[in-house]
A = this chain, B = another copy of it.
Amino acid sequence: MTKHLYVGLDVGGTTMKAGVVDDAGKSLRAVSLSTEAHRGQEFGLERMCEAIRQAVAAAGLTMGDIAAIGVATPGTMDIPAGVILDPPNLKPWQNVPVREHVRKTFSLPTAFQNDANAAAFGEFWAGAGKDAHSLVLFTLGTGVGGGIIIGDLVLEGEHSHGAELGHMKIEMTNPRQCGCGRWGCLEAYASATSVVKRATEAVSQAGVKSQLRAYQNKDGGLTSRDVFDVANQGDKVAQKIVEDTAYYLAIGAMNMMHTIDPDMIVFGGGMIAAGAAFLERIRKFVKELAFPVPAEKTTICYAQLGSDAGFIGAAACARQLVLRKK
């Protein structure tokens, strides 16, 4: 009997999530473990294998039921080599041979992918893009990540830097500095971090009245979620921050529509909790900015798989590995 079950593992800075996924992209069962990167990469590699084992056990299966494994991690990385290089979100790991370790541990075909690319492939296979031929995903969180899928091609790039969409430059004259150190990157405008930063700047000006001030003193300080909430309550200052954020994201979308020209632009990540009204603002700006034909025909939507997109996409990479070998 041919096995059509895959394990996907999505390794994040804080937690890792592993799940068994069937041939239609349906997650049977998933588990989460803390990553604890500070305990070092040997611990990390064993943790990954443990997450895979637990996911299989939770689904009532054994490793013998699994056709292949896919692992997605944050960069920097060498995707063809299956190695994490020097990941800012997984310090102090360096040059970690993830794919080889997992492959040898389980003696199963193992795919390796960037986490945002995997999330895009997950949405393409089983989420927002399941009827599309191509999509571009923007993941909106602390940073702005991205993934580009064209047909069955995950656009990894020749140097594992494909779809670093947060780091396209959209401003020259008066650029904000990005977390990457560069100036004028999309991420410096459209991440959750930037929403908070721009809101904080706005209320720091003398004479500005806003409910946002009250949130600055709460536990954990102001969050992007607060900014969206306060905007929904009618606060003009917060509304301007939200409006600008939609505009910046529309520029990111437009630049991809004039480059990749995909069937759909998908926004995912924590910030899409902002809801339908925010998506409508992005759509409005895209219509104003883009060429008429893509502006009319490109679907602009939210991701559907939430935090499962990464491991489902990693499983999709595992499946692709098996299908290509046939």
- Which residues of A257-290 are within 8 A (CB) of B? 257-263, 289
Could you say which of B164, B261, B293 contacts A258, with CB atoms under 8 Å apart? B164
Q: How large is the interface on A (under 10, 10 to 19, 20 to 34, 35 or more residues)?
A: 35 or more
Q: Of A49-57, A97-105, A150-158, A305-313, which binds chain B?
A: A150-158
Distance in angstroms between the alpha carbons of A263 and B160 in the assembled complex: 11
Could you say which of B133, B155, B159, B169 contacts A298, with CB atoms under 8 Å apart? B159
**Any chain B CB within 8 A of the CB of A215?**
no
- Say how far A296's CB is from chain B's closest CB, in angstroms: 9
- Say how far A176's CB is from chain B's closest CB, in angstroms: 11
Q: Is the CB of A293 within 8 A of B170?
A: no
Could you say which of B148, B159, B173, B298 contacts A293, with CB atoms under 8 Å apart? B159
Q: Is the CB of A159 within 8 A of B259?
A: no
For A157, list chain B residues within 8 Å (CB): 260-262, 294
Distance in angstroms between the alpha carbons of A168 and B251 in the assembled complex: 8
Distance in angstroms between the alpha carbons of A254 and B298 in the assembled complex: 25
Distance in angstroms between the alpha carbons of A159 and B180 in the assembled complex: 33
**Any chain B CB within 8 A of the CB of A161?**
yes
Given A76-B293, A182-B289, A258-B164, verify A158-B133 contact (CB < 8 Å): yes
Most buried by B among A134, A255, A263: A255
- Say how far A167's CB is from chain B's closest CB, in angstroms: 5
Given A161-B257, A164-B258, A164-B259, verify A289-B173 contact (CB < 8 Å): no
- Say how far A86's CB is from chain B's closest CB, in angstroms: 10
For A162, list chain B residues within 8 Å (CB): 259-261
Residue ID in chain B nearest A133 by CB atoms:
B158
Q: Is the CB of B261 within 8 A of A259?
A: no
Could you say which of B134, B155, B161, B254 contacts A291, with CB atoms under 8 Å apart? B161
- Say how far A261's CB is from chain B's closest CB, in angstroms: 2
Distance in angstroms between the alpha carbons of A180 and B289 in the assembled complex: 11
Q: Is the CB of B251 within 8 A of A172?
A: yes
Q: Is the CB of A173 within 8 A of B173?
A: yes
**Any chain B CB within 8 A of the CB of A227?**
no
**Any chain B CB within 8 A of the CB of A297?**
yes
Q: Is the CB of B148 within 8 A of A263?
A: no
Distance in angstroms between the alpha carbons of A263 and B172 in the assembled complex: 26
Could you say which of B134, B156, B161 contacts A294, with CB atoms under 8 Å apart? B161
22 CB-based A-B contacts, threshold 8 Å: A148-B259, A153-B153, A157-B261, A157-B262, A158-B261, A158-B262, A158-B263, A159-B294, A160-B293, A161-B261, A161-B291, A162-B259, A163-B259, A164-B261, A164-B291, A165-B258, A168-B254, A168-B258, A168-B259, A169-B251, A169-B254, A171-B173
A: which residues have CB within 8 A of B? 76, 133-134, 146, 148, 150, 153, 155-165, 167-174, 180, 182, 251, 254-263, 289, 291, 293-294, 297-298
Closest 4 CB pairs of A and B: A157-B261, A173-B173, A161-B261, A164-B258
